[in-house]
Amino acid sequence: MPSPPVAKKIPKIDVVHGDVRQDDYFWLRQKDDPEVVAYLESENAYTDAILTSTEPFQQALYQEMLGRIKEDDQTVPYQRGAHFYYLRTEKGKQYPIYCRKQGRLEAPEEVTLDLNFLAQGHPFLALGGYAASDDGHRLAYTVDVTGFREYTLYVKDLRTGQLAPERIEKVSTLAWCADPAILFYVTEDHAKRPYRLWRHRLGAATDDLLYEEADELFRLHLRRSRSLAYVFATSASLTSTEVRYLPATEPGARWAVLLPREKDHEYDVDHGGDLFYIRTNGGGLRNFRLIVAPVRDPRPARFTELIPHREEVMLEDVDVFADHYVVHEREDGLTRLRVTDRRDGASHHIHFPEPAYEIDPEPNAEFVTSRYRFRYQSFVTPSSVYDYDMSTRALTLLKRTEVLGGYDPARYRSERRYATAPDGARVPLSLVCRADAPRDGTSPCFLSGYGAYGIPYPVTFSSNRLSLLERGLTVAVAHVRGGGELGKRWHDAGRMLAKRNTFTDFIAVAEFLIKDGYTAPDRLVIEGGSAGGLLIGAVLNLRPDLCAAAVLRVPFVDVITTMLDESLPLTVAEFEEWGNPKIPEHYRYMKTYCPYTNIAAQRYPDMLVRTSLNDSQVMYWEPAKYVARLRAAKTDDHLLLFKINMAAGHGGASGRYDALREAAFDYAFILTRLGQRS
């Protein structure tokens, strides 16, 4: 067996609030240093050498997963103006092709953007913005070719297929106004914070700077209302919002502020008729309520409440149409849809029968329509696109993602259970297994978690996951505090000076699965990515005996060092999620859980750590330093493997076949750690 790489130690000493901190691996931040690159490549070579024997298994898993996918496929077309838009994939091609048809679905196809063509000569490609002008003649879009999420804006004439001369760098969001020659866009600062709003006239040599967001806690976002009547520019921190608006027909007018920003007040706005629809949690009403304000005079004194605040129900989203509005409500961790007729105020709900599932809106680009389109899926139901007639209440299935190879949902069992945290909190967990899986502790289990930013962990279908289920694994998700499954207070209870609840919740879920016979410690693999990687890193320090193996994807594991560096993307904005270590109380609390800080001379399970060289959200050096320190400290001979994608960003490989090979690699590691090799 080859020897693992050993990173040299170059001690860097800092003193924070009188506490001496020594970082032996700070030098790994030098991305352009040939020695750093050589070290990362040696880690890749070591990982590949260790897993050489699994390569036939990886290939078999890849072919197995590929065999379930309909490679030539197409999304359900949606209407916007005079066109129907959709995307399709072709066998052998890594990326989707964006298309449209004019007037009717039987019309000839027009390719608006072929990402396979744009990806030529690039190992990575990601599409950001994609917006057609109101007349349908021009397409504004942004692309990133490195994985660093640094997007360039282009404008394409869809009548001729020619690109306009515009090349605008570091664009985060964009929106057309009603004039097809004018668009607005937002650019980023040195730390990738979207902060400047610009107006651009096609062909102009210079653009007009309309607004600059000076507060580094806030990020600026641009969008057009579904009614097409307004453009909204939203300045948002993690706890506060301020929305500016402009009539789309008046690109030279003054942007008006809807509600000035105030501490702990988040809101968003949509438009319908002569009203603004505002989802707001002002006044300490954390789970939001829905109000309306007259467009001509949207002062708080003119507000009318449509849906009151409810402590047990999170109002997540509102979609406004000409005659209806649709609210996404989350209660006890599950989403339901509430449909209201704007003309008479009558409401009804759309309910779903499975114990755990996911609901997401589709584009719904048309304002004047009686149909609401959404996507439904669960652990056992493939992604399914529905049209719901808001007037007749007729529900129509338009497309269910086809799973090739004879998929039968009756072979599997989905459940929603609850574990009890040390402080008595009920922590939801969702799981799926084969219907005949025993409950005697003999089954292997793959447990994931996230628990940050108030984001609920989605309960989605994955045809890839069948490769685990068919080999007897139970797949589970721990809906820990810090996420948004149970509303804002669930988030509050797992952030800032309550962050440790996230980790103890996850441990409680794992112990519940073991106690209830779903698995055993030597048959449990745990996994998390990004902030979920922080979760797994902290759990491993607290309870290295909890599992047989762990997978950490682009893990945020060096919390203190990163949060002390305000030059990095995301740092300042995330003071409201993790705290600011320049504040002594915050520093002391972070020090109790930061995975890198708390690596100990103890035994750890087998581990696979993944990252990407061009990640702009969790810099590659965090997992690189973590692995180096862990190698030097741990007292066991279990596997510690580090895999770096040298040409991608936070989400890993961008091409669908490349991403599938990464999944096969991870699954081979997971399954072989559980004693399975075929």
DSSP assignment of 190-201, as one string? TTS-EEEEEEEE
What is the three-class DSSP state of 585? helix
Residue 318 DSSP code: E
In this prediction, residue 471 carries a pLDDT of 97
State what percent of residues in the chain have pLDDT above 90: 99
Q: Are strands 524-529 and 549-553 parallel, antiparallel or unpaired?
A: parallel
In this prediction, residue 421 carries a pLDDT of 98
Could you tell me where the beta strands, DSSP code E, fall in 462-615? 474-478, 524-529, 549-553, 606-612
Quick check: 16 pLDDT over 90? Answer: yes
- Could you give the maximum distance between any two Cα atoms of the chain, in Å? 74
pLDDT digits (tens, 9 = 90+) for 256-287: 999 999 999 999 999 999 999 999 999 999 99
pLDDT digits (tens, 9 = 90+) for 224-254: 999 999 999 999 999 999 999 999 999 999 9
What is the three-class DSSP state of 373? strand
pLDDT digits (tens, 9 = 90+) for 281-317: 999 999 999 999 999 999 999 999 999 999 999 999 9
Give the architecture (CATH level 2) of 35-66+408-673: 3-Layer(aba) Sandwich (3.40)
Task: Assess contact for 106 and 134: CB atoms under 8 A.
Answer: no
In this prediction, residue 204 carries a pLDDT of 93
Query: What residues are annotated to the active site?
Result: 530, 615, 650
Secondary structure, 3-state, 418-461: EEECCCCCEEEEEEEEECCCCCCCCCCEEEEECCCCCCCCCCCC
In this prediction, residue 79 carries a pLDDT of 97
In this prediction, residue 1 carries a pLDDT of 78
pLDDT digits (tens, 9 = 90+) for 150-167: 999 999 999 999 999 999
Q: Are strands 445-449 and 524-529 parallel, antiparallel or unpaired?
A: parallel
Give how far Cα 229 sits from Cα of 163, 274, 361, 624, Å. 27, 10, 21, 49
Angle at 587 between CA 581 and CA 590, to 5 degrees: 105
pLDDT bucket at 76, cuts 50 / 70 / 90: very high
What is the three-class DSSP state of 474? strand
In this prediction, residue 678 carries a pLDDT of 85
Cα–Cα distance for residue pair 100/129, rounded to 1 Å: 17
Fold match, 35-66+408-673 / 122-311: no
pLDDT digits (tens, 9 = 90+) for 573-614: 999 999 999 999 999 999 999 999 999 999 999 999 999 999
Cα–Cα distance for residue pair 15/36, rounded to 1 Å: 26
Task: Assess contact for 624 and 611: CB atoms under 8 A.
Answer: yes
pLDDT digits (tens, 9 = 90+) for 513-548: 999 999 999 999 999 999 999 999 999 999 999 999
Q: How many CB atoms lie within 10 A of CB 59?
A: 13
Residue 69 DSSP code: B
Tokens for 161? Answer: 């297929």
Give how far Cα 232 sits from Cα of 99, 362, 435, Å. 27, 20, 48
Cα–Cα distance for residue pair 29/229, rounded to 1 Å: 47
User: For tokens 């062909």, what's the residue?
Assistant: 203
Residues in the chain: 678
Task: Assess contact for 156 and 141: CB atoms under 8 A.
Answer: yes
Cα–Cα distance for residue pair 673/523, rounded to 1 Å: 9
Give the domain ranges of the chain.
Answer: 35-66+408-673, 122-311, 312-403
When the candidates are 2.40.160.40, 3.90.1150.10, 2.40.10.120, 2.130.10.120, the CATH number that belongs to 122-311 is 2.130.10.120
Mean pLDDT of the chain: 97
Tokens for 276? Answer: 């603004």
Quick check: 636 pLDDT over 90? Answer: yes
pLDDT digits (tens, 9 = 90+) for 479-506: 999 999 999 999 999 999 999 999 999 9
In this prediction, residue 367 carries a pLDDT of 98
Q: How many CB atoms lie within 10 A of CB 304?
A: 10
Task: Assess contact for 449 and 536: CB atoms under 8 A.
Answer: yes
What is the three-class DSSP state of 596? coil
Mean pLDDT of the 111-126 span: 98
Q: How many CB atoms lie within 10 A of CB 342?
A: 18
In this prediction, residue 609 carries a pLDDT of 98
Quick check: 470 pLDDT over 90? Answer: yes
This prediction has a pTM of 0.97
- Give the H/E segment covering residue 289: strand 289-294
